[in-house]
Amino acid sequence: MPHRPPRAPAPPPATRALERSAAAKVSVRAIVVLAAVALFVLCVDQVTKALVVAHLTEGERVPVLGNLLVFLFTRNPGAAFSIGTGSTWIFTIIAIAVFAFVIWYSPRIRSVWWAIVFGLLLGGLLGNLYDRLFRPPGFGQGEVIDFIKIPLLPAIFNLADSAIVAAMIVFLVLTLLGVGLDGHRPVTATADEDGATDAPPTDAPSDERRDGDA
């Protein structure tokens, strides 16, 4: 029978406790990164919107980089990129549901990169949700402040929308690379199988011994 290598002994309880402690530290770090990114996006988004409302007239067009980047102050009652105008309450409820999901799911994140993804998503979500809850014409029906116009897109958007798009891009990259929520890629068993195939059986009799016994 081919020789099977003995199984590695289970780590002692102290080692398992240290591993759990390390995982907990990584989880805390990821949550801190998520919260910091979300807060940064929310603050920058609201500050830029306040500046736009204070210094621009609605409908005013201000070229920043010629026609490549234009500030155009508009109020959007719909979703991101001026989609679905007239359904503000529906998008408000969806935004609250997504916010609750991110908060519920965040303790599972162990990767800083995934924390950045969820932080960008959460910050962009909160930026537009704040507008819907607290801006005119009323609670839950507020109009989102949009002001960024580029030739590639027919719609006008804001920094919260940009953060959501950035989150989706990083999400796709991490998914294509196979990076899990713990920051590691899944390990295939190909190398282990090849090593087991190449290793000679230890209890098989050698050719010389068989010749001597004949």
> Which pLDDT belongs to residue 119?
97
Q: Is the pLDDT of residue 22 over 70?
A: no
Per the annotation, the verdict on 161 as an active-site residue is yes
Q: The tokens of 69 are what?
A: 């980047």
Which pLDDT score is estimated for 129?
Answer: 92
pLDDT at 8 over 70: no
Residue 182 bears catalytic tag: no
Global model pTM greater than 0.75: no
Chain-centroid distance, C-alpha 177: 14
Question: In which band, very low, low, confident or very high, does the pLDDT at 27 lie, cut at 50, 70 and 90?
Answer: confident
Q: Which residue has the higher pLDDT, 42 or 95?
A: 42
Per-residue pLDDT, averaged over 175-197, amounts to 69
Residue in 127, 37, 132, 49 with CA at minimum distance from that of residue 91? 132
Mean pLDDT computed over 148-177: 93
Per annotation, catalytic residue among 45, 131, 146, 213:
146
Domain boundaries of the chain, sorted by first residue: 26-179
Share of the chain above pLDDT 70, in %: 70
- For strands 70-76 and 61-63, give the pairing: antiparallel
Which of 161, 194, 203, 213 is catalytic? The answer is: 161
